[in-house]
Amino acid sequence: MIKNLFTTVFLFSFLVFNSCKNESKPEVSENQETSKSQVEFATGFDIEDYETYKILSVFQAWPGSTKTFRYALLKEGQNLPDSIEADAILTIPITSIVVTSTTHIPALELLGVEETLKGFPNLDYISSPKTRALIKAEKIEELGQNESINTERAIDLNPDVVVSFGVEGENKSLNSLQRANIPVLYNGDWTETSPLGQAEWIKFFAALYNKEKQADSIFNSIKENYNSLKKEALKAKKKPTVLSGAMFKDVWYLPKGESWAAQLVADANAEYLYKDTKGTGSLSLSIESVLDKAQNAEFWIAPNAFESYQSLKETNDAYTQFAAFKNKAIYSFAAAKGETGGMLYYELAPSRPDWVLEDLVTIFHPELNSNKASHFFTPLE
């Protein structure tokens, strides 16, 4: 399964391991009052907060998953009631973590816990200056590749938890970590189709650090900014037409109409030409088909890794037939890179959809946001 074109991460799957209980801890009542976290937009997780523990539930670890994973987060000095079944058990607040997707990095930084990150597969993918400084200081261990994570190094780190994402199947490397009594949790942020739903996964990480109030404050700020921009975009008198994506080899990939990326275009008060297509992944089309439907699109955004009109033309002269090419109305996020070449958009955009929306409103309706600085998208050279 290929993930939405606008999110690039390496996927793997694993079986979740039950970590051992400390039998010397005191017994607790199984009839405890609970208060659910205020998850407004995300559909893939929820949190139940009891007196002595929390249950973090992940409903969709990968697209099409029908299993609910339940993770027990024990408050310090407590034990889990015998009647509670969990796919992994850990004590909170945690003090060390391994994450496996760059989309996890912004949540750690926003919560101010980036120094608890001890390992990551392929450090060059990380773009954030703050976390790159920790890498330079050799505080974060290189763990190889997601598909074959270096289990010996990871086990030596002995993190409180490994947070990963997956697809249906089995990953032997992750199973090895579980056998070493290291809890492994699924994070399904990338399966969300709502921009604010993806951003709300900061609350997933907050539960591990007992930082729910801080996460609520951060998310509410993002939500308010997003909704304010969405409302502002409605003041525009014109709704321009929009094309997205580009070809990889002989296939043009672009987001389907129910995707995260399509929703952002709609919230920017623009007409995404493929908005009526069903699904949340990517469409695979011929360039002839795209020309037939979208040749006259007023704007063209996110043309893969292209950064200039010349590189588009040299790759395929058919690109020059689009009105957006002729009118110099193509915008890309490819120029916003970290020092090791990773694209900042892939890392940060899911956590800051308000910044993406601000860029798009500025592009589509410059009369409303002409003085706004770009976060991700810039005109092609």
Q: Is residue 171 part of a domain?
A: yes
> Both tokens of residue 336?
């916003």
Q: Which of 180, 198, 222 is the last residue of a domain?
A: 222
Q: Is residue 5 part of a domain?
A: no
Q: Is residue 229 part of a domain?
A: no
Separation of alpha carbons 272 and 255, rounded Å: 10
- Same domain for 218 and 318, yes or no, is no
Q: Which of 222, 255, 272 is the last residue of a domain?
A: 222
Q: Is residue 66 part of a domain?
A: yes
Pairing mode of beta strands 35-36, 45-49: antiparallel
pLDDT for 20: 34
Distance of CA 364 to the CA centre of its chain: 24
- Same domain for 187 and 209, yes or no, is yes
Separation of alpha carbons 69 and 217, rounded Å: 27
- Same domain for 347 and 206, yes or no, is no
Here the CATH number for the domain that contains residue 357 is: 3.40.50.1980
Distance of CA 170 to the CA centre of its chain: 22
What would the DSSP string read from start to end of 229-296? HHHHHTT-S---EEEE-EEETTEEEEE-TTSHHHHHHHHTT-EETTTTS-SSSEEEE-HHHHHHHHTT
Provide the domain limits for residue 171: 35-222
Q: Is residue 6 part of a domain?
A: no
Q: Is residue 26 part of a domain?
A: no
- Same domain for 262 and 335, yes or no, is yes
DSSP state of 373: P
- Same domain for 152 and 42, yes or no, is yes
Separation of alpha carbons 126 and 102, rounded Å: 6
CA dist 88 to 17, 59, 156, 300, 339, Å?
Answer: 5, 15, 20, 45, 36
Contact call for residues 246 and 306 (beta carbons, < 8 A): yes
| pLDDT digit string, tens, across residues 263-304 | 999 999 999 999 999 998 899 999 999 999 999 999 999 999
Spell out, as residue ranges, where the chain has pLDDT lower than 70.
1-37, 146-147, 166-170, 370
Residue among 221, 302, 237 at smallest CA distance from 265: 302
pLDDT for 266: 98
| Sole residue written with tokens 């200039």 | 308
CA dist 268 to 48, 199, 303, 359, Å?
Answer: 34, 17, 18, 9
- Same domain for 315 and 204, yes or no, is no
SS (H, E, C) 163-227: EECCCCCCCHHHHHHHHCCCCEEECCHHHCCCHHHHHCCHHHHHHHHCCHHHHHHHHHHHHHHHH
- Same domain for 198 and 108, yes or no, is yes
Q: Is residue 3 part of a domain?
A: no
Q: Is residue 113 part of a domain?
A: yes
| pLDDT digit string, tens, across residues 68-97 | 999 999 998 888 988 899 999 999 999 999
The H or E element spanning position 354 is: helix 353-364
Peptide bond between residue 93 and the one before it cis (omega within 30 degrees of 0): yes
Residue type present at position 123: L
The count of structural domains within the chain is: 2
| Sign of the dihedral through C-alpha 93, 97, 102, 105 | positive
